[in-house]
Amino acid sequence: MKMENIDLNEQEQNRRDAVVKLRELGIEPYPAALYEVNVTTTEIKDRYDPEKCPFAEISIAGRMMSRRIMGAASFIELQDSEGRIQVYVKRDEICPGEDKTMYNTVFKKLLDIGDFVGIKGYAFITQTGQLSIHAKSLTVLSKSLRVLPIVKEKEGEVYDAFSDPEQRYRMRYVDLVVNPKVKDVFVKRTRIMQTMREYFNSFGYMEVETPILQPIPGGANARPFITHHNALDIPLYLRIANELYLKRLIVGGFAGVYEFAKDFRNEGMDKSHNPEFTCMEIYVAYKDYIWMMEFVENLLEKVAVAVNGRTRFNVWGNEIEFKKPYRRLPMLDAIKEYAGVDVRGMDEEALRKVCADLHVEVDKTMGVGKLIDAIFGEYCEKHLIQPTFITDYPWETSPLTKRHRSDPALTERFELFVNGKELANAYSELNDPIDQLYRFKEQLKLKDKGDDEAMYIDMDFVRALEYGMPPTSGLGMGIDRLTMFMTDSPSIQDVLFFPQMRPEKKPAAQQEEAASNDNEK
């Protein structure tokens, strides 16, 4: 097969030429045969003992990350899924017969940094005291056609670091190879979700799945993505939340259900927001938002210990303590404390004057609830560094929440704030179908005023409530943001394998070629 491509640099062309030469030697650079691996780098490092655990018959595979050729013997650094280890490659060991092609030609000339190889051999300690593998055979497993940006350090200076954020996020596969600490973030992300599952399962709650494509985008105030189902010839929406489907399951008789859901919101992007994100939602029958606060405190304490081994650690320059109990502060009290204004009982006109006096930016689409929320966001959130439950939100901004048992202008809702950011949202769920329909209709009024985040009416959900839903508490928690906190990651892009990005700009030559093709069409 002829290897053709355009705009290749010299090293890339040399690697393609090497593929051809390997095949001419009868060596397939991308073999289909199974290669049995019986050990990892971590297992060797943790368990090697020349007497009790000598690792006398190792079969390992990974990328070749460095190579030092010294005549008839060489050293390479092999990187597998768990780490790196040195490998000693001696010509007469991997080529025991007269034919030395595997070492002199294949290993020394046709293999490159980044290639995958299989090594069979045994563990030993070098004269300099370094644990290594003595190779008895070497197998080519996959040829790399592009040059890895190998990081080098000399006299305290770092060279060729793969550090540009756009490159790292766009080419996460390279980032994971050359920046080992990146992988640790995603290992911790998995540990977070595993810990949460174990906690929920210990109560007997059931993990479920609900639709991503929905006829009505419900369960949150957000702008949806719209698509079209060709077979049914109907518009559908990517879900903005899975709340209404999970509550249907509570109606159906489940005591507790939860889901780790991919949600989609067609809104802005910044260091804290990605249009596609992961949210965990859980609903438990016969509970309220007060019970849920303690449930969340215990959950986060367990997650913190599972991920970091302690409950207190640094997040974005602040020492955060996740050990319970957390402060509980009603929203209107928070505004009084941090903005110096008591907005309790104010109507829309009075709130607009307060916003003007406080220089809080608002618009004509905002009602009472959103005006209060705007003041809170401007004056309060930045002060909520330690975990804090902000409770008792206005009913206008909480259309799925039960009215407060002692003040019908408020609702039994809390949001958990950490480091000035919202982490979780929870309710005593509204189970009165008449009140729910009224709230949906009030949301339509906001939509008519131009609020494109206001909720739609979901009549099937109202019908479900009419069959009866027990008192229920529900919680939504952003997994991406939780991972940011638990790993001290400053950007949501750091905790997503493949964050959403603008299309990659094409090199000028490719743009001209594409334009020429378009003109020909």
pLDDT at 516: 52
366: its two tokens: 């905002």
Rounded mean pLDDT, 145-164? 76
Average pLDDT, the chain: 93
Which among 195, 470, 396 has a CA at the least distance from the CA of 309?
195
pLDDT at 447: 79
Which of 160-169, 335-344, 472-481 shows the lowest per-residue confidence on average (mean pLDDT)?
Answer: 160-169
Contact 484, 494 (CB under 8 A): yes
pLDDT at 44: 98
35: its two tokens: 């290669």
Q: 3-state secondary structure string, 440-461?
A: HHHHHHHHHCCCCCCCCCCHHH
pLDDT at 462 over 60: yes
Number of Cβ within 10 Å of residue 104's Cβ equals 13
Q: 3-state secondary structure string, 260-317?
A: EEEEECCCCCECCECCEEEEEEEEEECCCHHHHHHHHHHHHHHHHHHHHCCCEEEECC
Please indicate whether residue 512 or residue 117 has the higher confidence score (pLDDT).
Answer: 117
pLDDT at 468: 98
pLDDT at 6: 61
Number of Cβ within 10 Å of residue 370's Cβ equals 23
What domains, with CATH codes, occur in the chain?
10-148 (2.40.50.140), 181-326+386-495 (3.30.930.10)
pLDDT at 512 over 60: no
Rounded mean pLDDT, 50-56? 96
Q: For residue 363, how many C-alpha atoms fall within 13 Å in the half-sphere facing its CB?
A: 6
Percent of the chain at pLDDT > 70 equals 94
Rounded mean pLDDT, 158-177? 87
> In which band, very low, low, confident or very high, does the pLDDT at 3 lie, cut at 50, 70 and 90?
low
> In which band, very low, low, confident or very high, does the pLDDT at 33 lie, cut at 50, 70 and 90?
confident
pLDDT at 514 over 60: no
Which among 360, 357, 364 has a CA at the least distance from the CA of 372?
360
pLDDT at 153: 67
Q: 3-state secondary structure string, 18-75?
A: HHHHHHHCCCCCCCCCCCCCCCCHHHHHHHCECCCECCCCEEEEEEEEEEEEECCEEE
> In which band, very low, low, confident or very high, does the pLDDT at 326 lie, cut at 50, 70 and 90?
very high
pLDDT at 517: 54
pLDDT at 507: 58
pLDDT at 488: 97
Q: Positive or negative CA dihedral for 378, 270, 305, 412?
A: positive
Cis-peptide, bond into residue 490, ω within 30° of zero: no
Q: Per-residue pLDDT tens for 348-381?
A: 999 999 999 999 999 988 999 999 999 999 999 9
Rounded mean pLDDT, 144-157? 79
pLDDT at 246 over 80: yes
Q: Tell me which residue has tokens 């209709």.
A: 441
- Beta-sheet pairing, 84-90 with 131-142: parallel
Q: Checking phi first, is residue 424 left (phi over 0); if not, alpha (psi -120 to 50) or beta?
A: beta
Q: Per-residue pLDDT tens for 408-458?
A: 999 999 999 999 999 999 999 999 999 999 999 988 888 788 777 778 899
pLDDT at 372: 97
Instruction: Identify the burial level of 358 via C-beta atoms within 10 angstroms of its C-beta, where 0-12 means exposed, 13-18 middle and 19 or more buried.
Output: middle
Q: What is the rounded CA–CA span in Å between residue 1 and residue 23? A: 10
pLDDT at 144 over 70: yes
Instruction: Identify the burial level of 457 via C-beta atoms within 10 angstroms of its C-beta, where 0-12 means exposed, 13-18 middle and 19 or more buried.
Output: middle
pLDDT at 511: 52
pLDDT at 456: 84
Q: What is the rounded CA–CA span in Å between residue 242 and residue 249? A: 11
Rounded mean pLDDT, 462-490? 98
pLDDT at 242: 95
pLDDT at 520 over 70: no
pLDDT at 513 over 90: no
Q: What is the rounded CA–CA span in Å between residue 450 and residue 123? A: 69
440: its two tokens: 């949906």
